[in-house]
Chains A and B, each alone.
Chain A
Amino acid sequence: MIELQKVCRTFTVGDQKVAALRDIDLSFGAGEYISIMGPSGSGKSTMLNMLGLLDRPSSGTYLLDGGNVTDLNDEQLARVRREKIGFVFQSFHLVPRLTAAQNVELPMILAGIPVDERRSRVQELMRNYGLSERADHRPDQLSGGQRQRVAIARATVMKPTVLLADEPTGNLDQATGWEVLKLLEGLLEQDITLVVVTHDAEIGARASRQIHMLDGRILSDEQQTK
């Protein structure tokens, strides 16, 4: 499903070159549950941006669903992101001016999906995530857990192949955090590849595959068998 081959990413800070990713070789299958852990500066955020096609490798190759996405232009990348990738952020990133339902609808609006189809998909998701009564509320009228659920609904509304979650429980209390994680893990049944970036070992330990990063390299890549 996802394959990174010798991917490097270097940034130029001042006149120094800093390598954020060094020769990363990875491959994820459909329905796989991966956690990426590491201290700050280890390259896990860059990895996430790379996987999410927000950033391009300086060298190396990225294959997504068998297609090479390394050399696509910005517009093509945007379309691939739209179709195949969902993002969940630590700070939710909901548009404050729009209602919960409109936030969920946003990716479909950008994709130009007809109104009727949009409405039924939004309703279905809001129902599944227990948000039906909150559909017309704005984000500031929602609790943290509800906001993250809206964000997850938005990330999955286009039925992506990969869901990238960046510290999804970072801004939530523990109980709500677990609920959100369970919700994310439930998506695995739909054969979504779930990638959770965290520095919380307890959360990382829930994933069936745990990747530790340090200094832009993969320190360990462990498959757990339950």
Chain B
Amino acid sequence: MYLRDLITLTSSSFLTYRMRSFLTGLGIAIGIAAVILLTSIGEGLHQFVLKEFSQFGTNIISVQPGKTQTQGGNVGIFGSARPLTLQDADALRRLPYVEYVIPGLMGNAEVRFEGRTRRTMVLGEGRDFGKAFTMKVQSGSFWTDADDEQARAQTVIGSKIQQELFGETNPLGQYLRIGGQRYRVVGVMESKGQVLGMDMDDAVFIPAARAMELLNRPGLMEVNVSYRADIEADVLIRLIKNRLIEVHGREDFTIISQEQALEVLSSVLGILTFAVGALGAISLLVGAVGILTIMTMAVTERTAEIGLLRALGALEQQVLVLFLGEAMMLSALGGGLGLLLGIGIAQGLHLLVPALPVHTPWLFAALAELTAVTIGLAAGVIPAMRAAKLDPVEALRAE
């Protein structure tokens, strides 16, 4: 039997039972659409988050207080371990290959200018913040006080703070009250927008020493070290580790390189995408049951026809292939429809909510279609075997 004939014969039954075939295919289509839609969103998020993460720059190693014993969050950020200090930051600044060291911590405070107040994010940073990270100062500059400990009360404000509090007034040289203390505005940041859900424009940057005092914190949340691009992260990690152990006497800190962070993040997001896709796969299972049902019905309805085919000299194997082919074709068509639906809905969502990133990798689409066909094959096996094993004499008698 030629493939072309197989297609003619199997498609003849779709054309006859249009509604029924459509509904059965729809079961698979919904499953595939769900998988495609969810993985598209998952993959979109994946790429989005990776982009967000790396937009600060990649040659950065972050040191956080407290030792992480296992994978996962580091409790040191929130408190009890021995803090990282500005002296630690100074010690790291003297290491070779290091370009900038930026001590950092963050919190919330009220900022006020001429009767207008706003609650905003306060970022305690070092003077080299604008150089180390890929964030630009639009006007003015960061403070230049060489001694982090003695830095004067100066601030660089985000673009949103400028709009909301200063309006038309040129903020440079003005005094802004942050948590009750007066800060002279020395710079305005370029608009950066949201980064991982934090609005970097709705923030003020002040010297880290001042931030510790303002936020009433014993130490830094992190020290970011930027290093020369031609140096391996591992080299720097070893240097930083040795130096800090020298200072602290033991390893009570955690070093995270951007590379590692991206790797971990990437794998977490990969698992997320997979899990979400697996969720969608449950609806595929339901679709498979639909195919099983319809094929079982088809075998019963066409018993006489199967008898006839056998009388005309069809081999058991040919009957098997005919019914398997029909099940596969049903699911392949359903799968195709599902692909269109899934990609369509994903793109539609993206149009409606531009903030929601979607991305459908071709590999996923191909795998989804392959899955659909495999499901059809699996669901078709039992009915098709039953059809092939029918006794021709008995089958012919069925009317």
Residues in A lying within 8 Å of B, measured CB to CB: 49, 52, 54-55, 74-75, 78-79, 81-83, 85, 87, 89, 91, 93, 95-98, 102, 106-107, 109-112, 115, 154, 158
Contacts and interface: CB of A to CB of B under 8 A. Distances in A.
Contact of A154 (B16, B305, B312, B317): B312
Contacts of B399: 91
A222 B13 CA distance: 47
B230 interface: no
A95 B2 CA distance: 19
Contacts of B310: 54, 78, 81
A93 B304 CA distance: 8
Interface of B: 1-2, 4-5, 8-9, 12-13, 15-16, 304-305, 307-318, 392-393, 396, 399
28 contacts: A54-B396, A78-B314, A78-B315, A78-B316, A79-B315, A81-B310, A82-B312, A83-B313, A85-B313, A87-B312, A89-B396, A91-B399, A95-B305, A96-B16, A97-B12, A102-B8, A102-B12, A106-B312, A109-B9, A110-B1, A110-B309, A110-B313, A110-B314, A110-B318, A111-B313, A112-B1, A112-B2, A115-B2
B312 A81 contact: yes
Given A96-B16, A109-B5, A109-B9, A54 B318 contact: no
Contact of A54 (B5, B16, B314, B392): B392
Contacts of A98: 9, 12
Contacts of A97: 12-13, 15-16
Nearest to A86: B312
Contacts of A49: 393
Nearest to B302: A95
A99 B2 CA distance: 19
Contacts of A95: 12, 305, 308
A79 B318 CA distance: 12
B297 to A, nearest CB: 15
A115 B309 CA distance: 19
Contacts of B314: 78, 110
Nearest to B5: A109
Contacts of B16: 96-97
Contact of B313 (A82, A91, A93, A96): A82
A207 to B, nearest CB: 22
Q: Which of A96, A97, A154 has the most CB of B within 10 A?
A: A97
Contacts of A93: 304-305, 307-308, 311, 396
Nearest to B305: A95
Nearest to B318: A110
Given A54-B392, A89-B396, A97-B15, A107 B308 contact: no
B330 to A, nearest CB: 15
